[in-house]
Amino acid sequence: MESLPVTEPVLLILLSLAEQPRHGYAILHDVQEMSEGRVTMSTGTLYGALRRLLDDGWIERFHEEDNSRGRQAYRLTASGRRNLRQEVSRLKQLTRVASLRVAGKET
14 binds other proteins (CB under 8 A): no
Distance CA 73, CA 101 (A): 42
Shortest distance, position 80 Cβ to other proteins, whole Å? 15
Of 51 and 85, nearer to other proteins (C-beta) is 51
**How much of the chain is helix, strand and coil, in % rounded to 5?**
60, 10, 30
SS3 63: coil
101 binds other proteins (CB under 8 A): yes
Please report which helix (H) or strand (E) contains residue 61, including its range: strand 59-62
21 binds other proteins (CB under 8 A): no
85 binds other proteins (CB under 8 A): no
84 and 14 in contact (C-beta within 8 Å)?
A: yes
Residues in contact with other proteins by CB under 8 A are 1, 5-11, 23-25, 28, 39-52, 55, 69-72, 91, 93-94, 96-97, 100-101
